[in-house]
Structure 1
Amino acid sequence: MTSRKRFSLVVWLNSQLEVVVQKLFPAKTFFVFLTSAFTIALSFLLAFYLRFEFQFPVNEIAYLDTALPLVVVVKLLVFYFFGVYSGMWRYVSIYDLTQILLANIVSSLLLFVIIIFSREHYLQGFSRSVLILDFMICFFAVSGKRVLSRIIREAAAKGMKREFIRTLILGSSGSANNIIQTFSTGWGNRDIIGIIDNDMNPGISIRGVPVLGEIEETGRFAKKYNISEILLLPPYSSPSFIREIMDQLEKEDSNCVLRMVPTYADIASGKINVSHLKNVEIEDLLGRKPVNLDRTDVAKFINGKRIMVTGAGGSIGSELCRQITAYKPECLVLFELSEFNLYDISRKLRNAHPELKIVSIIGDVRSKDNVSKAMSENKVEIVYHAAAYKHVPLMEENPTMAFETNVLGSSIVIETCEKYNVKRLVLISTDKAICPTSVMGSTKRLAERLCLERQKNSTEFTVVRFGNVLDSSGSVIPLFKQQIKEGGPVTVTSKNVVRYFMSIPEAVDLVLQAGTIGNDRDIMVLEMGEPVKIYDMARKLIELSGLVPDKDIEIKITGLRPGEKEYEELLTDEEKVQRTPFDRIYVARKQELPLQPVDLDLIRKLVGDNNVPALKELLAKYIPENKFNEAA
């Protein structure tokens, strides 16, 4: 009777264990399961051995054939339900050790109850003190393996001069599960400290990584656990969440680098690698929704046409070229003064579109021969005029160059378009042309006027006006990044300076649409969203670098530069704006005002004489809405 009961109990427990192993244990964790079974068995034998002072009394050995399988099976089952096997040894934390302790307590209590109720049958006389010793030995053995694994890993990394990145994950359960699985198989230099999510209860774990709390507590946890990297997964990679997290980090004086995996598709694919991780950039904070345009008109306008882009190697010009090639023009003429910039964009376009005819011309818009040759030989039908000097302080120091390129160079392009019956010229302008305070803005305003003053002929002129673009050459973003890289200080001219910003691809996308739908002599204005304080942007860039403003990196106020104003406008007082059928594109309808035509011959003479005072007097004469007296 006793033997049959022993046998039936062991068989039943083994059958239950087999079900768990077959249905619930993935094959890759089977090794962990086996080593745990071995550790549990060895711990129990050692406890038994210690209890009887390193001797095995004959009468006690008889209990082992029942007690040992019972202990192993019960502990394996309890350990499974406590998630002991789901943790990664090299990421073991206090939370994991707590789970192991609880699993040991529950399994030992369960074994104690089983033995009490079975003492009258087949475990009569079994020493219960063995369970107390087993509890202690098993806890130290199971947890010790994991702690030792982590110590060895960190020691090895230290020997290889590797530093572990203490990482906090913000993401849903599915996203967090996939990314942690990826980390465990390839990115061993990260220590996953915890998960933040609004929909998961604190205390549970995913693959051994604990859920710490909700998004509102991110800053506190980053400070508490000395986090150096926060990984943002959907849905926490939106601009609103990023801004909230950065505000928390600033409040807690915590310096973390923010990185993200942009899409669910990247995570769901299960093939994430380091290239999928991107640092959070300033564009991610602006929160501009993707532009929604019907590009059918643009395709009809460009497809099969012969297009020329001046300033093709610049920030806007090169993106214009990239986007134009997608519409399959018959020929794309790259007109650029810089040899290196021309080579760079030409090479990239030819590699990306070997089927297209791309003509690369080193030329200067100030040379009538250069421009005429480019247009006549290539039978150009549409011109995007992006060549210009755009740096405000430099043009204050070199005003004649601004006049020579932005005004006289533009006049050459305009006249040559008319001469060779170019269908349309699209002039790329700037918000600094409105009520200008600088030489650069004033010369761009004159270029706009040159287009508006032309007599009606075969060429249509459209002006597209917009504000600053992120990461363009000469913008504050690359400058700030370089200053941060060099350890500071980051220089800001005034805490009150505000600017409008959009990304280069978005700006060009809108330029192509606006240039297509604009009528002759229209000034098309791109909606720039909410203005951004440059001082705030500098602080955010420092924080995105994992540093603390005015602690790790100083922000230095230098004062407004010559020609600089604190705010920008997109319309003059006389201009009225009208909506177009397209998002973020408006047309400025200027009231009929008597305009004194721009005297190009006089400007050529004054430029040749380097008569800067006279040139500046002309600006006041031609641009009565100027605000030179408001400049720094």
Structure 2
Amino acid sequence: MGGTSQPSRGASLRRQRRFALLAALLDGLMVSASLFLALGLTAGHPNHWIRSPFGLVLALGLSAAVIGVLALRGLYRVDVRYVSLTEFLEIIAVCVLASVAVGVYDFFVRHDTALNASFGPVLFAYYTISLLCGVRVVHRSLAWRTRTAGSSTRHPNRALIVRFGDHAERLIRELDRQPNSRFVVVGIVDDEPAHKRLRIRGVPVVGTIAELPDAIERLDIHDVIVASAEVPGSEVKRIFQLVRNTSARVRIVPTIDNLIRGAALTPQMREIEIQDLLRRPPVSIDLAKIAGYLTGEHVLITGGGGSIGSELARQVARLNPASLVLVGRGENSLYEIEQELIQTTQLRPTAVVADIRNRAAIEEVVAKYRPTVVFHAAAHKHVPLMESNPIEAIENNALATRTLAELAVKYGVRKFIMLSTDKAVNPRSVMGASKRVCEMIVSAYGATSETEFAAVRFGNVLGSRGSLVPLIQAQIRRGGPVRVTHPEMTRFFMTIPEAVQLVLQAGAMGTRGEIFILDMGDPVRIDDLVRDIIRLHGLVPDEDIRIEYTGARPGEKLHEALANDPEDLVPTAHGKINVVRSGTAIDRSWLLRDLDRLAELCRMRKADEAKQMLMDIAWGRTPAATESEIRSSKVAPRAE
């Protein structure tokens, strides 16, 4: 490998030098030709100038000067195939300066009426600009046409770009600068009538989005590229549905930021994923308000290695906290996010492996690092699994939240934000009931403490570990069947980054134990979601992959809600965030007394009684604990 690569690089350098030398000589000839053309039109005697020593010296001098300046500006190191507006402006500036030099020299030295007329320098500038730029435009155009014409054999990925505009121009330019790109853009599709006959960098608009199937067949297209990360999910889905019965694939450029930073474009392009089909318009956040309670603060995140916790860590790290502590039980996931933040930010986070159920361990962490802001993201979230393990759900979700709330008050935490779920609304599952109790704890402490408490409730997030989408994808990879509980079951979905942005925004609003609810958009039928994921894998639902309906599992509801009643929601200053209308205040002493009883039932491993008591607390009923259970627990109401 090493023996062949070095000569290859040497040969390439020699070719580049020969090409640069030829380009410089050609520029010199064009400068000289421009001079004699200008003289011929102004003086009427070009032959006299060609034969005169002055004319030859002036031509050679101007040619050498122009070549020298262009060389110093690095224009001969630019591949002519990829010359851009920047290089053209450089050439124009050099030609204008050369024409000024011609006029000045003739006026002060020669005093010759042939050139001191204003047309001489103007014509010289016109000819040099036209020739030097024109040759490069023609060369670039021929190279592009050759590449496009030969793309069926040398570049198998003939591509169409969706939407005319800045994103398309940037994408075409970036691909054009990659000689070995796997893609060659041969057309653009756009619905705007005004764009019908326009081109971007030589690439024409070939039709509307609705005409994609015809354009794909007519132009032998392999890839349809969505060039903007801001395209709504509804439009991505429309494009996908138009293309799915053709031989082409839909690809997407996920972010434009990486292009701006100069990252390679081709590796960033990927085939569309289910997140793209469900994408909503970008969230608008008040960065100043968020930074106001996070910049310079000491932040602690429980569940820091989880899907939500790690994204919280990423977004918080960008806001320059004084310190960031990530707490969790999963050592590998904690290590991964810790290393990621070390490599991508200036922050040096601290990863602490600890179980939030262990009061002594968590108090040691809080006492040592003294956080001023706590995001409580740690929780068990798997509904059927928690039905089988109610004590684990109660201890990890409800009782651990109480411990953290008490420690937040004890150690002077300024703000405590707990992440909740739509399953806490009218809970039928252990998991939902445990999270409803968490909300009650936050509300109770928020109403009576100097620490600012808040809970943020939202639905399913796409791509989290152990969630629906990865499970469906795994079943498809195994060849099916894909199991769906009910054809009419619906769920709310949101991407992890969007959910975290809104959690951070809601955190800036919460002060007295409010429960904030994120706008999750319209619920999605799980059956539709499954069918879209199957199609994204290039397969046909019910033909290539069978779908089985198994019935709802223990604790599952057919439809989730984000509030008990829509009238319970009050809008906030942010359009994507509502707050639950304050109802009857939660009696903190009553709640703590029942949590003590619940903890004792868990300690005695009385799962059925603990589950029933959890449901009673969550629904606001008087817990049905027998006197014998209370006596055996020997628990007295906790003093506040």
TM-score band by shorter chain is: 0.5 to 0.7
Cα shift at 1:581: 1.5
> Residue 623 of structure 1 aligns to which amino acid in structure 2?
A
> What is aligned with 1:400?
391
> What is aligned with 1:351?
343
1:531-559 deviation line (CA, Å, top 9, x unaligned): 22222222222333343333343333332
Question: In structure 2, the residue corresponding to 1:216 is in which secondary structure?
Answer: helix
> Residue 412 of structure 1 aligns to which amino acid in structure 2?
T
> Residue 535 of structure 1 aligns to which amino acid in structure 2?
D
From the superposition, tell whether residues 331 and 211 of structure 1 become closer, same or farther in structure 2 (CA, over 3 Å).
Answer: closer
Give the whole-Å Cα distance in 2 for the aligned partners of 1:549 and 1:87: 41
1:558 aligned to which of 550, 560, 570: 550
1:527 aligns with 2:519: yes
> What is aligned with 1:122?
none
> What count of residue pairs does the alignment treat as equivalent?
487
> What is aligned with 1:504?
496
1:468-525 deviation line (CA, Å, top 9, x unaligned): 1121112222223333344433332222122222221221121122122112121111
1:412 aligned to which of 396, 399, 403: 403
1:602 aligned to which of 597, 603, 614: 597
Give the whole-Å Cα distance in 2 for the aligned partners of 1:181 and 1:344: 32
1:82-109 deviation line (CA, Å, top 9, x unaligned): x9957745654xxxxxxxxxxxxxxxxx
> Residue 359 of structure 1 aligns to which amino acid in structure 2?
T
From the superposition, tell whether residues 228 and 435 of structure 1 become closer, same or farther in structure 2 (CA, over 3 Å).
Answer: farther
Contact 1:171 1:235 in 2 (8 A): no
> Residue 611 of structure 1 aligns to which amino acid in structure 2?
K
> Residue 295 of structure 2 aligns to which amino acid in structure 1?
N
1:182 aligns with 2:175: yes
Moved more, 609-618 or 374-383: 609-618
Cα shift at 1:331: 2.1
From the superposition, tell whether residues 485 and 453 of structure 1 become closer, same or farther in structure 2 (CA, over 3 Å).
Answer: same
Give the whole-Å Cα distance in 1 for the aligned partners of 2:327 and 2:170: 51
> What is aligned with 2:162?
170
From the superposition, tell whether residues 255 and 625 of structure 1 become closer, same or farther in structure 2 (CA, over 3 Å).
Answer: farther
1:464 aligns with 2:456: yes
1:160-214 deviation line (CA, Å, top 9, x unaligned): xxxx446444343983796388369534655767653445999999999886532
1:13-61 deviation line (CA, Å, top 9, x unaligned): xxxxx99xxxxxx9659xxxxxxxxxxxxxxxxxxxxxxxxxxxxxxxx
* Alignment root-mean-square deviation, CA: 3.9
> What is aligned with 1:587?
579
1:446 aligns with 2:440: no
Moved more, 269-278 or 424-433: 269-278
Contact 1:431 1:466 in 2 (8 A): yes
Give the whole-Å Cα distance in 2 for the aligned partners of 1:619 and 1:297: 37
Contact 1:434 1:570 in 2 (8 A): yes
Contact 1:309 1:321 in 2 (8 A): yes
> What is aligned with 1:386?
377
1:613 aligns with 2:605: no
Contact 1:255 1:543 in 2 (8 A): no
Moved more, 187-196 or 554-563: 187-196
Question: In structure 1, the residue corresponding to 2:427 is in which secondary structure?
Answer: coil
From the superposition, tell whether residues 552 and 169 of structure 1 become closer, same or farther in structure 2 (CA, over 3 Å).
Answer: farther
Moved more, 610-619 or 440-449: 610-619
1:315 aligned to which of 304, 307, 314: 307
Question: In structure 2, the residue corresponding to 1:369 is in which secondary structure?
Answer: helix
> What is aligned with 1:196?
189
From the superposition, tell whether residues 233 and 612 of structure 1 become closer, same or farther in structure 2 (CA, over 3 Å).
Answer: same
Contact 1:255 1:546 in 2 (8 A): no
Cα shift at 1:406: 0.5
Moved more, 219-228 or 203-212: 203-212
**TM-score when scaled to structure 2?**
0.67
From the superposition, tell whether residues 229 and 489 of structure 1 become closer, same or farther in structure 2 (CA, over 3 Å).
Answer: farther
Contact 2:175 2:184 in 1 (8 A): no
Contact 2:452 2:510 in 1 (8 A): no
> What is aligned with 1:569?
561
Question: In structure 2, the residue corresponding to 1:350 is in which secondary structure?
Answer: helix
> Residue 377 of structure 2 aligns to which amino acid in structure 1?
A
1:275 aligns with 2:274: no
Contact 1:254 1:548 in 2 (8 A): no
> What is aligned with 1:113?
none
> Residue 362 of structure 1 aligns to which amino acid in structure 2?
V
> Residue 534 of structure 1 aligns to which amino acid in structure 2?
I
> What is aligned with 1:133?
none
In the TM superposition, 1:416-431 aligns within 5 A as: 416-431=407-422
> What is aligned with 2:64?
none
Cα shift at 1:441: 0.7
Cα shift at 1:530: 1.8
Moved more, 236-245 or 200-209: 200-209
Give the whole-Å Cα distance in 1 for the aligned partners of 2:377 and 2:495: 16
Give the whole-Å Cα distance in 2 for the aligned partners of 1:236 and 1:293: 16
Cα shift at 1:293: 2.0
Question: In structure 2, the residue corresponding to 1:299 is in which secondary structure?
Answer: helix
1:367 aligns with 2:358: yes
Question: In structure 2, the residue corresponding to 1:473 is in which secondary structure?
Answer: coil
Question: In structure 1, the residue corresponding to 2:581 is in which secondary structure?
Answer: strand
From the superposition, tell whether residues 237 and 547 of structure 1 become closer, same or farther in structure 2 (CA, over 3 Å).
Answer: farther
Query: Which fold has the larger relative contact order, with Cα–Cα distance below 8 Å and residues 6 or more apart in sequence?
Result: 1
> What is aligned with 1:473?
465
Give the whole-Å Cα distance in 2 for the aligned partners of 1:171 and 1:274: 19
Moved more, 268-277 or 326-335: 268-277
From the superposition, tell whether residues 230 and 360 of structure 1 become closer, same or farther in structure 2 (CA, over 3 Å).
Answer: same
Question: In structure 2, the residue corresponding to 1:568 is in which secondary structure?
Answer: coil
> What is aligned with 1:298?
290
1:298-351 deviation line (CA, Å, top 9, x unaligned): 222122222211111111111222222222222222111111112112222223
Give the whole-Å Cα distance in 2 for the aligned partners of 1:234 and 1:86: 27
> Residue 400 of structure 1 aligns to which amino acid in structure 2?
I
1:216 aligns with 2:207: no
Contact 1:169 1:176 in 2 (8 A): no
Question: In structure 1, the residue corresponding to 2:352 is in which secondary structure?
Answer: strand
Give the whole-Å Cα distance in 2 for the aligned partners of 1:263 and 1:360: 29
**TM-score when scaled to structure 1?**
0.67
From the superposition, tell whether residues 358 and 266 of structure 1 become closer, same or farther in structure 2 (CA, over 3 Å).
Answer: closer
From the superposition, tell whether residues 605 and 167 of structure 1 become closer, same or farther in structure 2 (CA, over 3 Å).
Answer: same
Contact 1:204 1:210 in 2 (8 A): yes
Question: In structure 2, the residue corresponding to 1:590 is in which secondary structure?
Answer: coil
Cα shift at 1:405: 0.4
Question: In structure 2, the residue corresponding to 1:313 is in which secondary structure?
Answer: coil
Give the whole-Å Cα distance in 2 for the aligned partners of 1:259 and 1:301: 39
1:258 aligns with 2:250: yes
Give the whole-Å Cα distance in 1 for the aligned partners of 2:393 and 2:198: 64
Give the whole-Å Cα distance in 2 for the aligned partners of 1:600 and 1:558: 36
Contact 1:259 1:277 in 2 (8 A): yes
Moved more, 265-274 or 305-314: 265-274
Question: In structure 1, the residue corresponding to 2:450 is in which secondary structure?
Answer: coil
From the superposition, tell whether residues 399 and 553 of structure 1 become closer, same or farther in structure 2 (CA, over 3 Å).
Answer: same
Cα shift at 1:369: 0.6
1:244 aligns with 2:238: yes
Give the whole-Å Cα distance in 2 for the aligned partners of 1:265 and 1:366: 41
Give the whole-Å Cα distance in 2 for the aligned partners of 1:558 and 1:488: 14
Q: Gaps (5+ residues) in structure 2?
A: 1-32, 35-78, 83-136, 622-640
Give the whole-Å Cα distance in 2 for the aligned partners of 1:266 and 1:477: 27
Contact 1:400 1:610 in 2 (8 A): yes
From the superposition, tell whether residues 554 and 228 of structure 1 become closer, same or farther in structure 2 (CA, over 3 Å).
Answer: farther
Question: In structure 1, the residue corresponding to 2:355 is in which secondary structure?
Answer: coil
